[in-house]
Structure 1
Amino acid sequence: MSPNDGRSLESLILNKLLAVDYQPVTPGVLARQLQLSRDQGEEFRETLTQLLEAGRARQDKHGRIKPRGSTGSATGIVKRINSGAGWVIPQQPLPELHGGDIYIASRDLGDAQSGDEVQVRLTSRRRTGGQRCGIVEKVLKRATSTFVGTWFEQGGRGYVRIDGSQYPDPILIPDSGARGPRRDDKVVIEMLRFPSERRAGEAVITQILGKRGDPGIDTKTVIHSLGLPTEFPEPALAEARAAATRFDEDQIADRTDLTGETIITIDPSDARDFDDAISLTRSADGTWHLGVHIADVSTFVTPGSELDQEAQKRGTSVYLPGHVIPMLPELISNGLASLQQDQIRWTKSVFIDISPDGSVLGSDFENAAIRNCRRFAYEEVMPLIRQPDSAAARREDPRVIRLLQQMFELAMLLRRRRTEHGALQMGIPEVEIDFDKDGHVTGAHERHHDESHEIIEEFMLLANITVARALTTHRIPFLRRVHGDPDELRMTSLQQFVTGLGLTLRKPQSRHELQQLVRKAAGQPIERAVNFALLRAMKQAEYSPEDLGHYALAEEDYCHFTSPIRRYPDLTVHRLIEQLIRDRKQPQPAFSELVQLGRHCSFTERRAERAERDLIRIRLLRFMSTRVGQEMDAIITGVESFGIFCQGIAIPAEGMLHVSGMGEDYWEFDPVGRSLTNTRTRRQLRLGDPIRVIIAAVDIDRRQLDLAPTGNSNRRTARTASSVPAGRPGPLPPRENSDGRKPAGSGKNGSKKSVKGKQPGSPSGTSGNASGPKRNGESPGSRNSPTSRKRSDQSRRRR
């Protein structure tokens, strides 16, 4: 290998010194190991001397070259684990880390907490698995200093036990009497001094939310703990009112008048904002003419305005059970912009010509005015399509029935073409939780999802792809929706996992083989296990101006355009489409600004998802707390050396069954097959298997549900909720390849390891949690799908 310059040779030397398998050698041996030519000898000696003088390498008394004790610094985000130690995930990949994270011992974390951005000094220490170690030198930015917890008094002093398990010790409130909290009050605190290994935390109460368990307290807890903005500032509301005053639906001006066309919407039955509508015709030669009409929010929200700044800050609407926090004031989101039935509304319309075989022939964009002539709920659509002569169909306008039939025909054609092109269709049937008027869980049912959802999914996908291709063609930088290729080694782990299930996956990076894998598992007992594993093998989709493509959709160019009422990235794309319509280029933001905006919007999206997930988790735990001691049927959703994670079938609460509650026998953990096997009875517990468990313990404040096995007279109760660590592992084999960690119990090479049922303690970062598994990646038809239709105000709504 011949470097071209001194800098590349410097990197070559440093990479060698920092390699996990490097053994100190003399300069001559090092040069031979680097396979340098004789002509590079002088350059090598000069470069090595510079590294030694700069302190970036050192030479011992035997003349051997070693890496320096501290090899530079890095910035990244902290993720603490239950042992008190943590990992720092670098913001920029560093060659010396080989794609891994940095391990920080508890004594070296200082007061850094999960989510904090920190500066880390790398040391020469390495863990057994080769992961680099470091010391936190400075907290650059706190993830948050606001927390929610429960107040109590002890020894004449006030304390708050913060919700969740990140802070095991209570936080001292020196002057809690100033606000007069009472025992078991839920309070908001501002951290004055973060806890560390050497000193306790200290905080001040900023707000008393109310008594723990009171109606509405759970929602307030989630909102304040995540710092979700609720009330709109008055300047933003004033701009919304001014926009309403200016809006005159009869003044269409230079917009294309489509008010006489047959245009419809299909949404959840209880939706309140409608941001997309469809029109469709077909020529005599079989060419389709699809119109996707999206609410023109950019008309009411101008760049840099108070309204725009507030929308950008929020990033997305947040949909909680029984409560919505909109991105835009309801005057706009549910009024001016919403494509309500029989009302004239303004749109950004995408017109796409499609050949009889489903290929796109051309596209155009226009500012338009439409009148939604019929608003459908999903449940109404397929009966009308399948039974066009029914009494219900005869009550509809014949043009609407014809439109529905054509929409169905085209959507299924587009779906087949996408699948042939390699798009992944994967997912697990979703369970929707039922609540009473007070927000208490009453039951659950499988979420309705049929071809009516797929019709809208396909048209929204095509519109998003069409817009992204147009912006790319015109070389206009924009916020893309990107989904990177999965890590090769993680996919190899997936391959090993499905092999253990008796399936074949020869080329794990091949989308077509993954499609076949999903098809082979469909309808089989292992279907859920395969889908769990595949979804978690995927990376998480995010917003970025970088041209990274979308793996799950098998598309090079993709963006979000179809939901500007509730997603800020869509609004930014609408403004760019306006430039194409007007044929007027505007000054573009710097690439670095788009990068920051993408990170912010990705953060707000995940925050919204977490808010919904946390509130559902709390309510499921309340439901389960009244059923302690009862049995339930469940599915194994995760297997680790220390126990299994199970999700209820009737009620999708998820908890952990620890090996300490599984009798006196030893259990052998197989990290490849993702299973625990009883060494005496050979009973096997495997990902995706059904299992019957006992609800052993519930801790709502710590968000934990502990389970115990049934049918074992010698069983001991699972550990109490307070003793189970926090976090949620994925079901895939060890991720040592992607994040540098080797989970406990996996052996030196990920080999099998036996653990005893009464084993004390478990690896950090694990606990039973009461919600369904988080799904990574973004694939059509899955919960994180870019095309999953808008849901009711009580559920997540994303595409």
Structure 2
Amino acid sequence: MASLKQQVIDYLSRANYQPSTLKSVAKKLALKKKDRHKLDQTIQELIDGGKVQQGETGLLHVVDRTHQLIGIFRKVTSGNGYVILHEPKPSDITEDIFIEQRDTGDAQTGDEVAVALNNRRKSGNQRCGRIAEVIKRARNRFVGVYFEEEGQGYVFIDGKNYEEAIWVGDPGAKGVRPDDKVVIEMVRFPNHYDVGEAVLVEVLGDRNQPGVDTLTVIHEYGLPTEFSEEALEQATQQTEQFDEKNLEGRLDLTLDPVVTIDPISARDFDDAISLVKTDNGHFHLGVHIADVSHFVTPNSPLDREAYKRATSVYLPTKVIPMLPEVLSNGLASLQQDRVRFVKSAFIEFNAEGIPVDTRFANSVIKVKKRFAYEDVSAFLKNPEKYRGQYGETITDLLLNMQDLARKLRKRRFDSGALELSMPEIKLSFDADGKVTGAFEADHDESHQIIEEFMLAANIAVATSLNDRGVSFLRRTHGDPSAEKMKAFSEFVESLGLSLTRSQSRHDIQELLDATAGTPLQKAVHFAFLRSLQQAEYSPEEVGHYALAAEQYCHFTSPIRRYPDLTIHRIVDRLLIRGEKYKGENPEFLNKVGIHCSDMSRRAERAERELTKLKLLEYIEQFVGQEFDAVVTGVERFGIFCQCLEVPAEGMVHISSLSDVDQFYFDRDLKCLIGKRTDIRIRLGMTVRVKITHVDVDRRELDMMLIKVIEEKSPRKRSSAKKRPNKKTVPKKKPNPKKRRR
């Protein structure tokens, strides 16, 4: 007899089948009530596997994608969009599929869609198509600003993806008031012909109230904020049961000089360092990592919570930890003068920085000194000044760390490792959490020391596991495609630079070094970043392109990354206890890798988004003021500029240049050229701009060009376009045939 899964597929595939509910399918298959849960599970597996789709009304049907291509949809401001196809894609399609607004259906940015090609072509022979089906929604919940119009409630969704207000019904639900930030769940997504409808789920508070911006991003990205009661209870039990005197099976390093170096604001400490230089010139490095696996056992409540979150999220004003704080900031954190359990990677390097021996142990340490990066940076500038304060042992330790890190760094780059200069924006806050300043964070030698030691430990662990033939979750970064590197080479040549051998790591790094710290830095480094594949977690032996490492995994941050926790468990069983163990099933590891990669990217996007939000809130006070800026992007519709005094990037729309000249975009030169004046606005040039408009909800910063400092100065002209007036929304529940804007 056919399996239940096959029975469902066969029934849904009948020629005369009409989309039905799950209850109807159960009746047609003559299933008993006791078997309904099996059907529920089977249907869910088919949906997850992309073989069956369940519509918003609950109707089921088989997904037939025989002649369709699958990818991720992105919508642009005009209402048109494009689909980035999943790999592998047909060899005759080299670009994204263009989708006209009328063919987008109700697909939204980030949705996984099936696209059907048509016979139309764009310039450059780009293929066109239509959205045949939304396979998987990127999300159903959104955050926006609530307002009312003649007895009806509406919400403008934050960002630029939704130009039309969404109807949410009668006003006053959940005590909502105009200008409140709210969370809504979409009932009907808007499309080219019809408006959207949603229900109000939660009121976050007045949009200008402190902390509401943080709540906005938390809900926008669906970040978990509460731990299960079982996980919290287990964490408390671990704290009560911890016995720092029970060192059975552990190497006692509590008398060794061990230090941590972290950001000054750090709350959890994953890693600590010890280092001894022997008479033969060899370095004996100890990388000691918080032994989270001692407290978080497989399939426990804590483990399930950690897996679900997969990573801690470090927002500018709040940390959402992967583990309850009693562990992440307490028992597992390597705090100064506290006995802490660790997993130690001991690596011996010869005088040239070449590893000659590696071993691992379950250890116990007591950190002698907690350093902030700023402390170490000051020390390295004048070591003798601090010798009396830190003592001979710690002073020599820091100097040996500097010596070894420099050797390791040189060897890495000699081997073809690549380094991008993508400065991180940091914000300073007052006591009320309001932004008082913005700056680009330094990545000096104090950071590089710890970076080199963490990389060395990660490579040592991955190499040891690989040598034993065990399956484990690697951190992979595949080689970029020849096509993308060729396009990157053409791009830099358009800037007057040269990259003769686009596949040469040394030539690439030479280019990156040459542009670092110059006006072209952001354009070139970001373009190269976009040419690369995304790093991900996978059991596949792909290697790590940017690090030029054949074997690499994440071992050094188990407090904040779930993949590291999985590695600790394997290291414990295989390398420390010597068990005969081949690792987890590759299919299971692949599933874990996909989940952890997705959660990691979600966290990064949320962190960037809140930083951008708070930066825009800070910039609002500068509307009307002028700044020197560098052109970081040139497009057909305008230019992007980043201010030199504050790291804020905004756009000068091409329409605001019309009083000076009619500009056209030269694709090959990557610049805007005035038809009459021949003024050329290109990447990397310095300009003077005025901030004309800030829209925090839409994440927009508009600028006006005052003058081109490197070219003939243009005349003053009108400001850039602002967001359309919200009063253009309908006065009552929308008519499906009526457009709003």
TM-score over 0.5 (shorter chain): yes
Alignment match of 1:256 (pick from 232, 236, 251): 251
Alignment match of 1:481 (pick from 472, 475, 481): 475
C-alpha deviation, 1:124, in angstroms: 5.4
SS in 1 for 2:573: helix
In structure 1, the partner of 2:733 is none
Q: Give the distance between the partners of 1:520 and 1:123, measured in 2 at CA.
A: 45
Alignment match of 1:517 (pick from 498, 511, 516): 511
Matches within 5 A, 1:272-671: 272-390=267-385, 392-522=386-516, 525-580=519-574, 581-586=576-581, 588-664=583-659, 665-671=661-667
In structure 2, the partner of 1:218 is 213
Q: Give the distance between the partners of 1:545 and 1:365, measured in 2 at CA.
A: 22
SS in 1 for 2:723: helix
Q: Give the distance between the partners of 2:650 and 2:388, measured in 1 at CA.
A: 50
SS in 2 for 1:292: strand
In structure 1, the partner of 2:703 is 707
C-alpha deviation, 1:528, in angstroms: 4.8
Q: Give the distance between the partners of 1:533 and 1:75, measured in 2 at CA.
A: 26
Amino acid aligned to 1:263? V
Amino acid aligned to 1:458? E
In structure 1, the partner of 2:172 is 177
Gaps of 5+ in 1: 1-69, 725-799
Using the aligned pairs only, state the percent identity: 52
C-alpha deviation, 1:547, in angstroms: 2.0
Contact 1:71 1:122 in 2 (8 A): no
SS in 2 for 1:207: strand
Q: Give the distance between the partners of 2:518 and 2:212, measured in 1 at CA.
A: 42
In structure 2, the partner of 1:718 is 719
Range with bigger deviation, 273-282 or 660-669: 660-669
Contact 1:481 1:558 in 2 (8 A): yes
CA deviation digits over 1:343-387, x for unaligned, max 9? 111111111111111111121111111111111111112443443
Contact 1:696 1:717 in 2 (8 A): no
Distance 1:630 1:370, change over 3 A: same
Range with bigger deviation, 593-602 or 144-153: 593-602
SS in 2 for 1:95: coil
Contact 1:276 1:295 in 2 (8 A): yes
C-alpha deviation, 1:324, in angstroms: 0.9
Q: Give the distance between the partners of 2:441 and 2:578, measured in 1 at CA.
A: 44
Amino acid aligned to 1:719? A
CA deviation digits over 1:631-669, x for unaligned, max 9? 112121111122110112222111100111113412242
Distance 1:713 1:117, change over 3 A: closer
Contact 1:124 1:133 in 2 (8 A): yes
Contact 2:339 2:366 in 1 (8 A): yes
Contact 2:472 2:584 in 1 (8 A): no
C-alpha deviation, 1:618, in angstroms: 1.6
Distance 1:565 1:500, change over 3 A: same
Distance 1:81 1:523, change over 3 A: closer
Contact 1:273 1:339 in 2 (8 A): yes
CA deviation digits over 1:445-479, x for unaligned, max 9? 34233211111010001111111111221222222
C-alpha deviation, 1:254, in angstroms: 0.4
In structure 1, the partner of 2:192 is 197
C-alpha deviation, 1:323, in angstroms: 1.0
In structure 2, the partner of 1:115 is 110
In structure 2, the partner of 1:236 is 231
Contact 1:693 1:710 in 2 (8 A): yes
TM-score of the superposed pair, with normalisation by structure 1: 0.78
SS in 2 for 1:426: coil
In structure 1, the partner of 2:72 is 77
Q: Give the distance between the partners of 1:312 and 1:587, measured in 2 at CA.
A: 21
Q: Give the distance between the partners of 2:95 and 2:497, measured in 1 at CA.
A: 30
SS in 1 for 2:360: strand
C-alpha deviation, 1:150, in angstroms: 1.0
Alignment match of 2:136 (pick from 136, 141, 157): 141
Within the alignment, does 1:167 sit opposite 2:162 as a pair?
yes
In structure 1, the partner of 2:687 is 691
Q: Give the distance between the partners of 2:270 and 2:413, measured in 1 at CA.
A: 27
SS in 2 for 1:577: helix
Q: Give the distance between the partners of 1:280 and 1:570, measured in 2 at CA.
A: 23
Amino acid aligned to 2:722? A
Contact 1:532 1:637 in 2 (8 A): no
C-alpha deviation, 1:326, in angstroms: 0.7
Contact 1:660 1:716 in 2 (8 A): no
RMSD: 2.2
Contact 1:161 1:170 in 2 (8 A): yes
Q: Give the distance between the partners of 1:527 and 1:85, measured in 2 at CA.
A: 31
C-alpha deviation, 1:337, in angstroms: 0.7
Amino acid aligned to 1:196? N
SS in 2 for 1:75: strand
Range with bigger deviation, 519-528 or 621-630: 519-528
Range with bigger deviation, 124-133 or 340-349: 124-133
C-alpha deviation, 1:626, in angstroms: 2.5
Q: Give the distance between the partners of 2:633 and 2:383, measured in 1 at CA.
A: 46
Give the length in aligned residue pairs.
654
Amino acid aligned to 1:699? D
Q: Give the distance between the partners of 1:322 and 1:169, measured in 2 at CA.
A: 31
Contact 1:295 1:339 in 2 (8 A): yes
Distance 1:555 1:592, change over 3 A: same
Q: Give the distance between the partners of 1:383 and 1:245, measured in 2 at CA.
A: 40
Q: Give the distance between the partners of 2:274 and 2:336, measured in 1 at CA.
A: 14
In structure 2, the partner of 1:209 is 204
Q: Give the distance between the partners of 1:178 and 1:446, measured in 2 at CA.
A: 43
Q: Which has the higher contact order (CA 8 A, sep 6+)?
A: 1
Distance 1:519 1:530, change over 3 A: same
Gaps of 5+ in 2: 1-64, 708-712, 726-741
Amino acid aligned to 1:442? T
SS in 1 for 2:701: strand
Distance 1:147 1:365, change over 3 A: same
SS in 1 for 2:598: helix
SS in 1 for 2:175: coil
TM-score of the superposed pair, with normalisation by structure 2: 0.84
Q: Give the distance between the partners of 2:95 and 2:325, measured in 1 at CA.
A: 45
